Homo-oligomer: A and B are copies of this chain.
Amino acid sequence: MELVEEMLAGDVLSLARLITRVERDGADVPQIMKQVYPHLGKAHCIGITGPPGAGKSTVVDRLTAVLRQRGFTVGIIAADPTSPFTGGAVLGDRIRMQQHYLDEGVFIRSMATRGSHGGLPRTTGGVIKLMGAFGKDCILVETVGVGQTELDIMQNVDTVVVVLVPEAGDAIQTMKAGLFEIADIFAVNKADRPGADNLVAELRMMVHLRSEETWWQVPVVATEAINNVGIEELYGQIEKHRQALEETGRLSQRRQEQRRQEFLEIVERRVSEELLKLVERDEELGRHMAMVEAGEVDPYSAADEILRPRTLLASWSRQLAERRSSD
């Protein structure tokens, strides 16, 4: 595909267009990904997650400045509907962000977080790949860490930073929301507020109690992102985590596992798409659907009827024969 070649050659507009296509999750995604795949694996992908109002976007903003100072190019993906990067900002935020919007070394993209039933982790993973293939050194992914969908997105990154604030509830609540399991680094933001020291101490104790692994001790960094306090230290920990991943061979393990999962998901989805198409064309389905809608038969029994192997096999044979004759 020419568009992919242009993107790989460094054309930003082509990158933007490809991202839109991946977001739409259309029939051309496999072709795009096939071309993109050989160019992956170089970018360090950092997830920034946490409850609403923790200041994740400000952390992303300040971290971007630190990365740019060091000469790294940055891709930002905001899958958080309240992020200033996605437009959910007050005027002050927007003005701050503008420095990055005008910087050619930074590419910012917000994901449509609404209406993509179950597809957001997949499409976000695709956009991460595009930015990686484009050649970004670091990719920052901002999500609001509350639901399962949002946690799933974090499966696609190398290093997860969980941003918390004192008033957002205690460490126990963080554990319950599943954030504890996925954190590689904690940032206690708005660290000038009351309760911050307690939260830092509480998290450190919990990390200490729960950690079974010796290769990485989850650090807790106090930050005031809005005043640029603690951001250098946060960056230092992110860099350390990347090094630890590489030195212990865990980075390649992690990516191997990601590829495995992706493959299984693709097979599963393709198989189900193919067969749904096949079943939908079937007259029998219409009849069963009407009965299910009317409540005359339960959907499980109707599915049993439709999915009897013999019926499906016959239907598939016909389809195959049709394909052959049209070739």
Contacts and interface: CB of A to CB of B under 8 A. Distances in A.
Given A152-B117, A169-B82, A267-B303, A320 B310 contact: yes
A276 interface: yes
What range describes how many residues of A lie at the interface?
Answer: 35 or more
Interface string A257-280: 001101110111111101110010
Contact of A317 (B118, B289, B302, B313): B313
A218 interface: no
A303 B177 contact: no
| Interface SS of chain A | helix
Contacts of A217: none
Nearest to A29: B300
Contacts of A117: 148, 152
A307 B266 CA distance: 10
Given A34-B298, A53-B169, A293-B259, A271 B272 contact: yes
23 contacts: A30-B304, A31-B300, A33-B298, A33-B299, A33-B300, A37-B300, A51-B52, A88-B173, A88-B176, A116-B148, A120-B148, A147-B149, A149-B149, A256-B295, A259-B293, A262-B292, A262-B299, A263-B289, A263-B303, A267-B303, A270-B307, A313-B316, A313-B320
